[in-house]
Structure formats: C-alpha cells, structure tokens
Amino acid sequence: MLLIFAPIAVGLEYLHVDHLILFAIAIIALIPLAKLIGDSTEHLATHYGATLGSLLNVTFGNAAEIIISVIALNAGLLELVKASITGSILGNIMLIFGLSLIAGGFRHKEQVFNRENAGLQSSLIFLAIIGLAIPTILASTVLNSTSIENQIKLQTLSDILAIVLIGVYIAGIIFTFFTHKHLFVLPGHADEVLEREYFNWSKKKSFILLGASMLGVVVVSEILVGSVEETSKQFGFGEMFVGAIIVGIVGNAAEHSSAIILAKKGKIDLSIGIAAGSGTQIALFVVPILVMVGVILGQPFTLKFTLYELATLFLAAIILNLIAHDGKSNWFEGIMLIAVYLIIAIGFYFIG
C-alpha cells in the first residue's frame, strides 16, 4: 500500500511543494521500494538454488543504500553519505539486532544461535572499521594539511583500502558459501523459504519488479537528496544527524522488519544473518563501491570519517562482540543494544 507514495512524491516534485513535505513523502516511498527489491531477489533465489540464491541476496541486499548514496555523492553531499554509512552499520548491528533480541526474548526465554556466523560477522565489522580508521587517523595527524599533495595521498590510500576491503568481502563469500558453508547452515532456512511461498513469482516477474523497484529508488532518491538540505535547516538538524539516523535507517527498513519478525518466530540465526550480515555488507561492499564511484563521478570520496563516527563504530562493534560471543541471547541484551544506539543517536543530534 505504501508504494502509492512513490508516484505521489514524483507528482509533488513537479508541483514544487514544500521541501519538508517532499522529504517526508520520499522517506515513506523508499521503504516499500526497498522491500520490493528484497522480495524480488528472494523470489529469484528460489529459482537458482541455495548457493546462487544466497549470492543474489548478497549482491542486491544493499541496492537501495547504494543507489541513495550514489545520488547523494553525485550531488556533492559527501558528509551526508559518510554519515548514512555510519548510521546504516549502527542501525543494523545495534538497533535492529537489539529489537530482534527483544522481540524473540519476550516469546522465548533464551535463544541459541550459530556462534560461527555471529563471530565471523563481528570480526569482519572490526576489520572494516580498521580500514576506516587508518585514513581517519592519518588525516587527523600527518596528513592534516589541506595541501593538494596530502589530499592526493589520502585519496590514493582510500582507493587502495577500498580494493583490500572488497577483496576481503569476496573472500568472505567464498569462505561462507563454498569452502566452509557447513559452518553456516542456518536451521529452518528451507522452511522459511517455503513458509513465505516464494515460488509464486516467475523469473520474468521477479526481474521486471526488481528493475522497476530499483528505477523507483533512483527517482525517489533524487527527490530525497534534493530536499534534504532545506529540511535539515527547517528542523535545525545537522547533516550528520539526518544522514546517520534518518537516511541510514530508511534503506534498510524492509530488512529491519524481516529480522524482527524472524526473531519473534524463534529463527534467531536468520535474524542475525540479516542484521549483522547487512552491516558487514555495508562496511565491506558498499563503502568500497562508493570510493570507486566517486572517482568516476569526479566527486573524490575518501575513507576519512569524523572521529565521532569512528569511535561510535568501534564501540558498537565491541558491545556486539561481547553480547554475541556466547551464542545465546535474551531480551535484556536487546535492551542494552538499543540503549547504546540511543546514546549514539543523541550524540549525532548535537553535531551541527
């Protein structure tokens, strides 16, 4: 039903209505479009087997975030893009994982999950944060000059690290889906696929809806990006708050709801796979893609983040590792994750 907001957003854009209204409508419209991308990919996955289907999910799992970020990058909103990346990672591993533990914990006193999968995701997030930390630290110390030479060095470093990160991401896919896939078998996955009746969509319908939904995300994202600056001024929000807390959550909204619903059904492994896995994909796949796209668009995108963003990612990864290391979960651990997310979000609000 929310898909109706997509054509409404386009119509209001042509009528040049208030930026605040456009921003709100575009935010709502992106949620069902992102969900449609996910649904189309899931339907396609049922036609191509478990391994190839999983690869399809991995490939298109963050399509909405990539599209939104590329359009914002093209508009020169570099700080907004970096904040949305930070917010997406935090939203997945803190907010959504936390809500999933709460939803599952109220129905099941204690839930047991695959420690191998949770441990791998936690390690990969730490690795990605280290990749973001090196340029940030160097930019704050030895490369803190605004000279062209230092800027070139920072961009070169970011390009090299992007290649390393995406290389690790590809290696992780091979490790998870091929050489060591027996360690990451998620119980109930086949039942979940059957339960959702994904076989109803043909390949043709799935591809058409996937293409249409991605096109819709492109159009609506243009409207969102065009209205974000004026909306920020009207509300008094900083660009980083809008990027991290609002835009950072929107692209993942459909996945967020799925993770919470699965946890409530007792399928905590699938829920963790969505929440932590999506955060890992953003850090290791989306970030390097944006660095490369920035070069193509002539909008240099370095891995220099603010110290606050870097610190929040480190702290979030630490508490995620502490909570997930024992392979068990309960609702109070979810409360702790939500509390950390709220503390971080409040901090973003006070950044001008």
Q: Which domain holds residue 187?
A: 2-349
What pLDDT digit, counting tens, does each position of 40-99 carry? 877 877 777 656 666 676 667 678 888 889 999 998 888 889 999 999 899 888 988 899
Handedness of CA 345, 272, 289, 56 (dihedral sign): negative
Let me know: does 83 contact 239? Beta carbons within 8 Å. yes
Split at pLDDT 50, 70, 90, the class of 134 is very high
pLDDT digits (tens, 9 = 90+) for 289-334: 999 999 898 888 999 999 999 999 999 889 888 887 788 888 999 9
Task: Give the burial string for 64-79 (b: 16+ CB within 10 Å, else e).
Answer: bbbbbbbbbbbbebbb
Considering its fold, how many domains does the chain have in total?
Answer: 1
State the amino acid at position 163 in one-letter form: I
What are 273's two structure tokens? 């796979």
Residue 208: in which H helix or E strand, if any?
Answer: helix 203-235
* pTM: predicted TM-score of the whole model, two decimal places: 0.86
